[in-house]
Amino acid sequence: MRRLILDGHYGQRVEIDLCAPCHLVWFDAIESVRLTGTGMLSLLGEMAQAQREPHQLLKPDARCVRCAGRLKTVHNRSRWGATLQLECLRAHGAYQTFAQFLSEKGFVRPLSSADRAGLLRREQGLHCLNCGAAMGAQDQRCSYCHSSPGMIDVARLARALDPDGATEAHAVHSTAARHAALQCLACGAPLPPGQAVQCDHCGATLAVGQLSQAHAAVSVLEAALRAHAQSPAPHVRARRLAQLEGDLPRRRDWARQMEAESRGAASEPDDRAFWDDLRERPRSVAAAAGLLLFIWWLFWG
Which residues would be at the binding site for Zn ion (CB under 5 A)? 19, 22, 64, 66-67, 69, 88, 90, 92, 128, 130-131, 133, 142, 144-145, 147, 184, 186-187, 199, 201-202
Q: Residue 83 burial by CB count (10 A; 0-12/13-18/19+): exposed, middle or buried?
A: buried
Q: Please say which residue, 54 or 282, places its beta carbon nearer to Zn ion.
A: 54
Say whether 32 sits in a helix, a strand or coil.
helix
Q: Please say which residue, 142 or 258, places its beta carbon nearer to Zn ion.
A: 142
Phi, psi of 74 (to 5 degrees): -120, 130
Q: What is the CA radius of gyration of the chain?
A: 25
Closest approach of Zn ion to the CB of residue 287, in Å: 43
Say whether 163 sits in a helix, a strand or coil.
coil
Closest approach of Zn ion to the CB of residue 187, in Å: 4
Among residues 136, 146, 101, 99, which one has the least CA distance to residue 116? 136
Say whether 8 sits in a helix, a strand or coil.
strand
Contact in structure between 291 and 251 (CB atoms under 8 Å): yes
Q: Please say which residue, 187 or 292, places its beta carbon nearer to Zn ion.
A: 187
Distance CA 223, CA 201 (A): 31
Closest approach of Zn ion to the CB of residue 207, in Å: 14
| Helical segments of the chain, H only | 37-50, 98-104, 113-121, 154-161, 171-181, 211-218, 222-230, 234-263, 274-280, 282-300
Q: Please say which residue, 58 or 285, places its beta carbon nearer to Zn ion.
A: 58
Among residues 190, 218, 164, 200, which one has the least CA distance to residue 41? 218
Q: Please say which residue, 97 or 284, places its beta carbon nearer to Zn ion.
A: 97
Closest approach of Zn ion to the CB of residue 165, in Å: 23
Q: Please say which residue, 141 or 256, places its beta carbon nearer to Zn ion.
A: 141
Closest approach of Zn ion to the CB of residue 140, in Å: 12
Closest approach of Zn ion to the CB of residue 144, in Å: 5
